[in-house]
Each structure stands twice: as C-alpha cells, then as structure tokens.
Chains A and B, each alone.
Chain A
C-alpha cells in the first residue's frame, strides 16, 4: 500500500495515487516555493509501489501551470515511473494541454525527450 491523496490548493496540484488501480493523477497548478518538500511523499509512494506494481500503470498529468522549481520534481516523478516501466509494469503517460497552450505542449515534449516512456499528448478544450 502506497496510496496518496492530496487536495489541490492555489499553489499546489491535486495528487491522487492509487496503487491497487495502478493510477496516478496530477492536476492543477504546481507553483509552490518549496517543491521538493511537496513532491517528497509522491516520490516515496512511487518507490514503494515499484516493488509491488500492477501489470499496467496509467498516469494522467493535467497541469495548468508549473514553476521551474516544480519542473525538476516532476522530472524526478517521471524518472521513478521510468524505473517502474523497466520493472514489472507497463506505464502509460497521458500529458494534457489546453488548445493553443503551446508552452504546455512543449513542456510535455521536453520531458518526453528525456524520459524513456512514450507520452500521449492530449489536447483539451479551454475551460
């Protein structure tokens, strides 16, 4: 068991991690001043999960904004997922971006270039 549920705030995203369902959701804004502290529980949960993962792991990333301090932590999350993917689970990453938000699409492409898991880029309508 390595589940995690964090309610979103004006500076931090909603995070849901369900190890039994093999599902991770990160949604909203990620602009905390101290990102390392915020992402630590998720990094740890993913580490625990890797030793007992489901055969399939689905990841939805629906970020509206993230700061550069978060961008390193998000990369760490992807690196954990990469390890899970080379282990016993097949990981699927869905990267959502609002139509016209080229910056968010590019951000997804930046990660995709570094991480050895295919990303699915999904355009959504503006809210």
Chain B
C-alpha cells in the first residue's frame, strides 16, 4: 500500500491540481472543464488568467479527443490512452499532456511546433489569420489552428518532447505554461 502514499507525495510535490490518465471522451472533457472552472473560481484567479487557462484547456483536451478519434489508433490496446495534468507552481499554471502518436508523424509535428516557437507575438497573430482564412478545414473543424492559438494564449514557448516507443509509435509530451 506504500505506493499510494508515494503517488500522493509525488503529486503533492509536483503541485498537481488535477490529473487524468485514460481515454478522453466528450463527457470527460466537459467534466474536467467544469472542475477546473470551479477550482479557479475558488482560488479567485484574475479573470484574465482564468480565461487563458480555460481556453488552453479546451484546445488541449479537444486535441487529445480528436486525436484518439483517429482510425490509425484502433489496432493496439494502449494508444487510446492519454495523460493530462494541470499544475500550479508559484502562481504559474502549466498544462501538460501526453499521448501516443505514429512515429511517421513526428517529423511534421516537430517542424510545426518549431515554426510556432520561432515566432513572436505579432508573427503568431499574422500566422493565425493566414491559417484561419486560407487553411483547409478538417472534418473535425480544427484545421491546424489549435496549436497556434495555444501558443498565442500561453504567451510562452511550447515545451515538447517525443519519446520513441518502438518502430511505429512515439510518446508525445507537451508542456504549456501560462504567462502571468
């Protein structure tokens, strides 16, 4: 039973406000948003921070939701599972996500994230408008805007990592900090 205490201590030390591991469904998404909204209400966060965090949460969770929706992930047992955590350290919120992706997609995702990270506020605004106006809309509606929007709202560089699992899969970790 020691393990449970260990888990608790790790989460406590890591200032984890909320964590979830598993399949992200539409209902779960709604519940997490409600929980976080009431938590931030209790903490009397400034409206500005509350809105930014909420917006980023929506995009992250919907990214995971739509990603797990993809057909390519139907074969193995674990790929549908994702990790989602929110922490608050010294008043700064971080939203962390982890999920499995096909290794074939790593390169394109990496270049997309680097493109975004190399842009300043103004460049991101221009890029957002460009993709909004010209980008192809995917069946689910996102069309590549999500990550640009996350970067704009966060005001910080996106921290990410890809861990190769085997020939086919990698684990994608994303850490989004919300500038105060």
Contacts and interface: CB of A to CB of B under 8 A. Distances in A.
Interface of A: 10-11, 31, 33-36, 65, 67-73, 75, 98, 100-104, 106, 110, 113-114, 126
Interface stretch (B12-20, B54-62, B82-90, B91-99): B54-62
Instruction: Tell me which of B62, B132, B142, B152 has the highest count of chain A C-beta atoms within 10 A of its own C-beta.
Output: B132
A124 to B, nearest CB: 12
B145 A126 contact: no
The 9 A-B residue pairs with the shortest CB-CB distance, nearest first, are A69-B141, A68-B145, A35-B141, A68-B149, A68-B146, A67-B58, A31-B58, A114-B133, A72-B137
B22 interface: no
Interface of chain A: mostly helix, strand, loop or mixed: helix
Interface in B41-77: 47-48, 51-52, 54-55, 58-59, 62, 65-66
Contacts of B47: 98, 100-101, 126
A43 to B, nearest CB: 13
Nearest to B144: A68
B129 A33 contact: no
Contacts of A33: 26, 29, 62, 65-66, 140
Chain B interface: which size bin? 20 to 34
A75 B143 CA distance: 13
Given A33-B140, A70-B141, A110-B129, 11 more contacts: A33-B62, A34-B140, A35-B141, A67-B58, A69-B62, A71-B145, A72-B141, A72-B143, A101-B48, A103-B51, A114-B133
B141 A34 contact: yes
B65 A75 contact: no
B14 to A, nearest CB: 28
Given A68-B149, A126-B47, A36 B52 contact: no
A119 B132 CA distance: 18
B162 interface: no
Contacts of A67: 55, 58-59, 62
A110 B127 CA distance: 11
Contacts of A98: 47
Contacts of A11: 30
A72 to B, nearest CB: 5
B157 interface: no
A72 B144 CA distance: 11
A75 B132 contact: yes
Given A65-B51, A101-B47, A106-B125, A114 B62 contact: no
A113 B126 CA distance: 10
A105 to B, nearest CB: 12
Contacts of B142: 68-69
